[in-house]
Structure 1
Amino acid sequence: MEASLRKKIIAAAGGGAIAIATVLIPHLEGVKYTPYRDVGGVWTVCNGITGPDVIIGKIYTEKECKELLHKHLIPYARSVEKHVKTPASEYQKAALISFSFNVGAGAFERSSLLRYLNSGDSKKACDALKQWVYVDKNKIPGLMNRREVEREICMWSNKNA
């Protein structure tokens, strides 16, 4: 992970998992102010925003993208809070928010990753992130990079970031 991203994440940690995820996701997703189709063919804008907030032909502002990201992260943060039954660091929660934002809350909630975490094996849970790198049975380099960063953050505790 780049040193600059690490510093930004550590600085955001005082604001909790959603603040960390708000720093992490733009780094992982990048930003595009006009809608485009992602690798799965889904209409997307800003930092990976999908759904009815994506208006084809609209040019979004930086402010709109930040607001949309925050709005769209809330359900994923709630899912993480509801389904993680064991103590987890804010960094682990942020990695899980980022992961579920990418794959969907349902996939996160049904994942072996969550089962490992809830059984107390956080290392195995964090390592399981690296399995989620396929789209239509094709290994995607961008997802491999994303999962490696999420895994690294997942391994951090609040004491040793």
Structure 2
Amino acid sequence: MRKWRRGRAFCTDESGAVGRRTAAGLGAVLALAAAVIAPFEGRELRAYRDIVGVWTICDGDTQRVRPGQEATPAECDSRLAARVAAFEREIRPCLPAGLPAETRAAFISAAYNIGSPAFCSSSMARRARAGDLRGACEALRLWTKAGGQVVRGLVRRREAERALCLSGL
């Protein structure tokens, strides 16, 4: 049996699997997450080392990147879509079912940046599982460092993610 939350695009069945109220439900969440991720990551068609020295290409993608690698804009679009979907799948078990689309998209963006293992063990995920969604959104502000230093770009990103997260509540 599926349980619908009034005004929400998602439902869950007894297994905890997320269902969609509309055909575009999950796709809309992924598109929203990608729209938050892309401007903060920036698009680079040639592989480069990021702020902490990790080889990166396209929109902050670190998977299977090697020095000298190049990508087309279409390849970057494909990589971003695939990685956003992968992060959604990876963090889904760490969050309660039935989250608002905006909140889920904000958490996908954070996981894309900090990694799924870090996200799943974070206070964001713990607070969300405890039912404190506002507190989970506020906890995004705790993730503003790279290499031990506060980074202005991460501060701006977390504020944007926080605003999106709270807009769904």
Q: Aligned ranges for residues 54-73 of structure 1 at < 5 Å?
A: 54-73=65-84
Greater percentage in strand:
2
- 2:50 maps to which residue? 38
Using the TM superposition, name which of 72-81 and 57-66 deviates more: 72-81
State the alpha-carbon separation in 2 of the partners of residues 154 and 71 from structure 1: 22
Q: CA deviation at 1:49?
A: 0.3
1:138 paired to 2:111: no
- 2:3 maps to which residue? none
Over the matched positions of the two proteins, sequence identity in percent amounts to: 34
Aligned length: 146
TM-score normalised to structure 1 length: 0.84
Q: CA deviation at 1:129?
A: 0.3
1:47 paired to 2:53: no
Give yes or no for contact 1:13–1:20 (8 Å, CA) kept in 2: no
Say what the alpha-carbon RMSD is for the aligned residues: 1.8
Q: Which runs of 5+ in 1 are unaligned?
A: 1-11
Measured against aligned partners, the alpha-carbon deviations of 1:71-100 in whole angstroms (never above 9, x if no partner) come to 112221012322212531111111111100
One-letter amino acid of the counterpart of residue 44, structure 2: K
Question: Counterpart of 1:88 in 2: which secondary structure?
Answer: coil
Q: CA deviation at 1:142?
A: 0.7
State the alpha-carbon separation in 2 of the partners of residues 59 and 51 from structure 1: 13
Q: Which runs of 5+ in 2 are unaligned?
A: 1-23
